Amino acid sequence: MRFIISFLFTAGAWAATPINVFHEAGTDSASMIKQILMRDYQIPEELIGVREVRNCAAVKRRGRLDLCLKNNGDLFVVSVDREFVSESLKIFKAP
């Protein structure tokens, strides 16, 4: 089942990943958030994108789940598709 869901996400995500973790320039902690999503929820690495931005306030995305990490350590939810998150995390969450 996880393979099928992973395949559907990957096939439909040719232009963007379903989960994006943005971080302001100079922040290294975005990879830690990615590791937590992979370890605790067993989300495949190819479904999580990490991108650098100048300012979290300037991020205007409408993805499935977009997070932004500020230089001071605050994590903002830029956009969230609640149905996607609740259904997907049930599939990927470790038993």
pLDDT at 11: 45
Confidence of residue 69 (pLDDT cuts 50, 70, 90): very high
User: Residue 18 corresponds to which amino acid?
Assistant: P
Q: Which domain holds residue 68?
A: 2-92
Of 48, 53, 52, 18, nearest to 33 by C-alpha is 48
Q: CA-based angle 65:69:74, to the nearest 5?
A: 115
**Other Cβ atoms closer than 10 A to 70:** 16
pLDDT at residue 28 is higher than 80 = no
Express each pLDDT in 34-45 by its tens digit: 999 899 888 889
- Count the domains in the chain: 1
Two tokens, residue 64? 């499935």
**Three-class SS of 35-50:** HHHHHHHCCCHHHEEE
